[in-house]
Chain A
Amino acid sequence: MNDKTADKTTDQAQPQKTGAQCVIDGLVEAGCDVLFGYPGGAVLDIFNALYDAPFQFVLTRHEQGAVHMADGYARATGKPGCCLVTSGPGATNTVTGLATAYMDGIPLVCFTGQVALNMIGNDAFQEADVIGITRPVTKHNFLVRDADELPGIIAKAFYIATTGKPGPVVIDIPKNVQKQKTAAQPPKTVSMRAYHPDMPINPAEIAQFADLINRASRPLLYVGGGAVSGGASDVLSALAHKANIPVCTTLMAMGVFSDNDPLSLRMLGMHGSVAANYAVDHCDLLISVGARFDDRVTGKISAFASKATIVHIDIDRSSIGKSVRTDLGVHGYVKPVLEAVLPFVLAADHAEWIEQVQRWKERFPFTYPEQGDVIMPQFVIEQIDAVSKGQAVITTDVGQHQMWATQFFRYTRPRNFISSGGLGTMGFGLPACIGAQFGRKDELMVCITGDGGIQMNFQELVVAVEHQLPIVVVIINNGFLGMVRQWQELFYGRRYSGVMLSQHERAPNEHIPEAKKYLPDFVMMAEAHGACARRVTKPEEVAPALAEAFASRKTWVIECIVSPDANVYPMIPPGSHVAEMINRTV
């Protein structure tokens, strides 16, 4: 058996070019239209070649920002995100971003500079074992030892990143390889003997799958990120409507099935809708479509969907049966699998089941306590939906505002909710919003963030301002690291430890001499970065501020001072069953 991949298709007639030029050519070949990055000593040669590149380069203010931007671009467009950083600290700063993309299956290619091959292992200046450090947080990584290999490796990297379950790939390029001359050309096709992402569909599995659907009386579709990356939105909708199957989605799949569809139960899991979680508990067939039974979805594993036969469709064979017993695993891309099963599915009305589910939806909508003069955070999200007429593309950080953003904005299109699901990375929202805007220039991008998360990558605001990006950052400021505070309130006897931002009444060992209102002053901070900014403190100010910002097509920061003690409900406590759900607002 021979490796058909031509790592070096050497053609003597071709002019010699440097490894650095190969990187630029490889990016062009892969269809890159924007590269995010930050320079340094070990990538000077690539930046020199980049000067004449035909695609846009975006200089970020931190390498973490570069990876999150590439990630946001990929989530918004479905195309692989690209970034370029230097060796050592530049590369280690990408680790959180790579892990974020890896957990959520987002296609990225990250180029890192490395010290010259003969210096590796010498503790050279700005040297780090990037291959070793990034191995557990990437789908694959490459150390390039010879410029002759580079065109082949770049082609392979994009192929690996975008096929199968997508994921980030790192290419570590030593400085001498960037300078080295080569006549190698990119291969015409990529094929690797040990990597076969294209799974033939097993007709026996499809027949069994169709039979299970046709015999079910209370079927439920549980849809995850695989349906987004697999472009399965339309066929999913066709299947749901043909057999009248209600649909709930994970955080990663918001909008892949419209929240406005009568069959939509919206998000399931810890902070999902009551209807979705009751449906999981009562269904007799659970069809998982590219979801992976995350612990935030299942709660108590042994009690999850305990009355149901479970079908799991996934391109990642290792995901099937990993957390939950699976009665039928269907290995393949979700779109062709659903397309294959659809003709065998009989039309059905499941009237009794639909009626039951409908009653839950009506009885337990997402709701929140009355607001007086104080802005409720949930109200802000509702206003973003109303003022943008549901058209905004939302990115978030992580915590309470993230959950409210799933509950109080209705998503009707895939790729319009961009959030760090698996890793839960604070500081993701703003750079992801910038990356998404570069990918979809005509759309309104809104970053919903908290007073905690926004301070983790605030520096990237400059990038939005200098490129005149019409992104609107809405800071839900409750003065707390809210989700952690919520857990301390509910499960740790209100011992608020390490969650108060610029306030008194902290734990004794956190004492600060003086509490300051509005520290930092987000409005001054935004204006210092060149953005338009406003602070709103009353409910009636929210909609006009949003309307002005959305209409301006400028970079805006709107700080909303919200009720400090609002909590996210419903909540199924970690490791619990739906019966133990806390729902204080009903």
Chain B
Amino acid sequence: MKHIINCLVENQPGVLARIVGLISGRGYNIETLNVGPTADPTVSKMTIVVPGDAHVISQVTHQLSKQVDVIEVVNMTNRRHLDRELILLRVASQDHHGRVEVVELASLFNARVVAVQEDSVTVQMVGNQETVADFLRLLKPYEIIDISRSGVIAVGREVIEHERAK
């Protein structure tokens, strides 16, 4: 199972390398990773998607928590949350017919066509992990020339104790 782990860290050079090294050094895989500053410019939020069983995820969260530069680790998968990923993909469209099919599929997923070329359509799609996976599955019959994914980001849907304390 994939887990979405949100990690608040000191916004300092070297912290990203330490976190990534810690996870990969234990033989665990990172599926997506997103880093950005928070409302407090001295704090960055990292959202890490790690596949693994309960034991692997518990090790990853405990190892992250004990790092000197890690302020807080939350496994979002264990609580009510919203997650989103943005993908940009260029799909080949040999003729008018092919293009219409891709555009139709995109509109079913609330995706936007952001560019049209002679031989391809570029689509921007935002969704949670499940929707993104569905969209990519339905696009399988078409030739995807290029794809860029932002990585998953997530926020909790309920304020938890310590957040209220702030």
Q: Which of B13, B59, B63, B68 has the most CB of A within 10 A?
A: B68
Given A316-B66, A317-B62, 9 more contacts at CB 8 Å?
Answer: A1-B40, A135-B21, A140-B68, A193-B71, A195-B68, A318-B59, A318-B65, A318-B66, A322-B59
CB-nearest residue of chain B to A159: B68
Q: Which of A136, A317, A318, A321 has the most CB of B within 10 A?
A: A318
> A192 — which chain B residues lie within 8 A by C-beta?
68
Bound form: Cα–Cα A195–B59 in Å: 18
CB-nearest residue of chain B to A165: B66
The residue that A135 contacts in the complex, of B17, B40, B58, B62, with Cβ under 8 A, is B17
Bound form: Cα–Cα A194–B17 in Å: 17
Shortest CB-to-CB span from A326 to chain B, Å, is 11
> B166 — which chain A residues lie within 8 A by C-beta?
1
CB-nearest residue of chain B to A321: B58
Question: What would be 25 A-B contacts, judged by CB atoms less than 8 Å apart?
Answer: A1-B40, A1-B166, A3-B42, A131-B14, A132-B17, A135-B14, A135-B17, A135-B18, A135-B21, A140-B69, A143-B13, A143-B14, A160-B68, A164-B66, A194-B9, A194-B67, A194-B68, A194-B69, A194-B70, A317-B65, A318-B62, A318-B63, A318-B66, A321-B58, A322-B59
> B59 — which chain A residues lie within 8 A by C-beta?
318, 322
Bound form: Cα–Cα A160–B67 in Å: 11
> A410 — which chain B residues lie within 8 A by C-beta?
none
B83 within 8 A of partner (CB):
no
| Main SS at interface, chain B | mixed
> A136 — which chain B residues lie within 8 A by C-beta?
21-22, 25
> A321 — which chain B residues lie within 8 A by C-beta?
58
Interface residues of chain B, those whose CB is within 8 Å of chain A, are: 9-10, 13-14, 17-18, 21-22, 25, 40, 42, 58-59, 62-63, 65-71, 166
> Do the beta carbons of B68 and A139 come within 8 Å of each other?
yes
Interface size on A (CB < 8 Å)?
20
Task: Tell me the chain A residues, 114-132 only, with Cβ under 8 Å from chain B.
Answer: 131-132
A-B CB contacts (within 8 Å), total count: 40
CB-nearest residue of chain B to A132: B17
Task: Tell me the chain A residues, 1-32 only, with Cβ under 8 Å from chain B.
Answer: 1, 3
Interface residues of chain A, those whose CB is within 8 Å of chain B, are: 1, 3, 131-132, 135-136, 139-140, 143, 160, 164, 192-195, 316-318, 321-322
> B66 — which chain A residues lie within 8 A by C-beta?
164, 316-318
> A194 — which chain B residues lie within 8 A by C-beta?
9-10, 67-71
> A135 — which chain B residues lie within 8 A by C-beta?
14, 17-18, 21
Shortest CB-to-CB span from A98 to chain B, Å, is 15
Bound form: Cα–Cα A132–B20 in Å: 12
> A143 — which chain B residues lie within 8 A by C-beta?
13-14
CB-nearest residue of chain A to B9: A194
Q: Which of B9, B22, B66 has the most CB of A within 10 A?
A: B66
Shortest CB-to-CB span from A1 to chain B, Å, is 7
> A322 — which chain B residues lie within 8 A by C-beta?
59
